[in-house]
Amino acid sequence: MHENIVQLKRKAQDGKMRETDTLDTKNIFRLIESVPSPKTEPFKMWLATLEKERI
Protein backbone atom coordinates (compact mmCIF):
# COMPACT_ATOMS: atom_id res chain seq x y z
CA MET A 1 0.00 0.00 0.00
CA HIS A 2 3.01 2.30 0.33
CA GLU A 3 2.50 3.58 -3.22
CA ASN A 4 -0.63 5.35 -1.95
CA ILE A 5 1.25 7.29 0.71
CA VAL A 6 1.90 10.96 0.04
CA GLN A 7 4.19 13.16 2.08
CA LEU A 8 2.95 16.59 3.09
CA LYS A 9 4.70 19.21 5.18
CA ARG A 10 3.17 19.80 8.61
CA LYS A 11 4.32 21.82 11.55
CA ALA A 12 5.96 19.49 14.08
CA GLN A 13 5.98 19.94 17.83
CA ASP A 14 9.34 21.66 17.55
CA GLY A 15 7.76 24.27 15.26
CA LYS A 16 9.63 23.13 12.15
CA MET A 17 7.90 22.03 8.96
CA ARG A 18 8.47 18.31 8.48
CA GLU A 19 7.34 15.89 5.78
CA THR A 20 4.67 13.57 7.16
CA ASP A 21 3.22 10.43 5.59
CA THR A 22 -0.46 10.85 4.75
CA LEU A 23 -3.24 8.79 3.17
CA ASP A 24 -6.49 9.78 1.52
CA THR A 25 -9.80 8.68 3.07
CA LYS A 26 -10.15 5.55 0.94
CA ASN A 27 -6.71 4.29 1.89
CA ILE A 28 -7.15 5.16 5.57
CA PHE A 29 -10.18 2.86 5.61
CA ARG A 30 -8.22 0.16 3.77
CA LEU A 31 -5.42 0.45 6.34
CA ILE A 32 -7.85 0.19 9.27
CA GLU A 33 -9.57 -2.83 7.72
CA SER A 34 -6.21 -4.56 7.27
CA VAL A 35 -5.39 -4.51 11.00
CA PRO A 36 -5.99 -8.09 12.21
CA SER A 37 -6.29 -7.33 15.94
CA PRO A 38 -9.63 -8.08 17.65
CA LYS A 39 -9.12 -4.81 19.53
CA THR A 40 -9.88 -2.93 16.30
CA GLU A 41 -13.33 -4.52 15.87
CA PRO A 42 -15.28 -1.88 17.88
CA PHE A 43 -13.67 0.87 15.81
CA LYS A 44 -14.39 -0.98 12.55
CA MET A 45 -18.03 -1.43 13.59
CA TRP A 46 -18.28 2.27 14.45
CA LEU A 47 -16.91 3.18 11.01
CA ALA A 48 -19.40 0.82 9.37
CA THR A 49 -22.24 2.52 11.28
CA LEU A 50 -21.07 5.93 10.11
CA GLU A 51 -20.94 4.75 6.51
CA LYS A 52 -24.40 3.22 6.75
CA GLU A 53 -25.78 6.54 8.05
CA ARG A 54 -24.25 8.36 5.07
CA ILE A 55 -25.99 6.07 2.58
Q: Distance between CA atoms of 9 and 16, rounded to whole angstroms? A: 9
C-alpha dist (Å) from residue 15 to 9, 10, 18, 43: 12, 9, 9, 32
Per residue in 2-54, pLDDT (tens digit) is 567 778 898 999 999 999 888 888 888 888 888 899 998 998 889 888 877 77
* pTM of the predicted structure, to 2 decimals: 0.53
